[in-house]
Amino acid sequence: MRFHSPQKLKSIADLIGSEFVGPEDFVVLGTNEIHRVKPGDIVFVNHPKYYDKALNSAATIILIDKKVDCPEGKALLVSDDPFRDFNKINTHFTRIYNFTEELHDVEIGEGTRIHSSAVIGNNVKIGKNSLIFPNVVIGDRTEIGDNVIIQSGTVLGGDAFYYRKLNGNFDRLISVGNVVVQNNVEIGNNCTIDRGVTDSTVIGEGSVLDNQIQIGHDTVIGKKCLIASQVGIAGCCIIGDEVTLWGQVGIASGNTIEGGSVLLGKTGVNRDLKKGTYIGMFAEDFKGYLKKEVKLRNLK
């Protein structure tokens, strides 16, 4: 999430009541989740296991629960609860409506048709010649391109599935990102595409999604991908261009699938994959899988 205007380190520290390490006028441009951080971003970390990853990331401001050595060219915000204060910063700069207020400010391009039963949030942009079917829900800040088809019951921009356990209960990281659907995309019935925690969940140009697909927060789907029914993609994944995912493929959080890959039905992914064709619970190379099957069948 980028702020509407640059902020200073001290003003952010004052907002959350934290100590800071670095110049008072150190520039802060926004916040981001660790997988999507850029220079000028705040990233939060609240466990020693992940200190190095956060401190050495592209983020230049680290919201952390312990004062540590600050890398050169970076700054720290030292908080007793970085998770809480990350939420506080995000909701200070991004208003959360959740359909409780109909302010709208919706841009709709020429030739676009939207069924009267569709529900549209605030600050939504829809391009030209798109078609929105009955009972579609489009959350705040969603951006939809030209010549897009979204079929009935699909939800764009639901909350990210991102929690921590606190005092025996689940505490949500509030989602202030959005969904971006590029030109010439088709999305089937009853799909759910979560908005980014602090960035965009992206469906690339020309991609086609079947029915009942779940796509997690901050995931980026490339151009001209083909995704069959009941695929589940967790948050922060990168799916390259022209990838085919057949029915019931499951991809764990934070993994990258190289462009041109094909994942056959029910393939499970728990690591990054180079271009290829895969099958099985742990995404085996398909040719290798066939050779193994032949050997097993020939055992006597």
- Catalytic (active-site) positions: 217
Nearest to 61 by CA among 111, 105, 99, 6: 6
Beta strands in 167-288 (DSSP E): 169-172, 178-181, 186-187, 192-194, 200-203, 208-209, 214-215, 220-221, 226-227, 232-233, 238-239, 244-245, 250-251, 256-257, 262-263, 268-269, 277-279, 284-285
Q: Quote the CA–CA distance of 75 and 97 in Å, as a whole number.
A: 32
- The counts of H helices and E strands in the chain are 4, 34
Residue position matching structure tokens 């720290």: 76
Residue position matching structure tokens 């079929």: 151
Q: Find residue 163's DSSP bridge partners.
A: 172
Give CA separation, 256 vs 194, 220, 237, 274, 275, in Å.
Answer: 18, 10, 6, 8, 10
Q: Which helix (H) or strand (E) holds 289?
A: helix 286-298
b/e for 277-287, b at 16 or more Cβ within 10 A?
A: bbbbeebbbbe
Residue position matching structure tokens 């850029």: 38
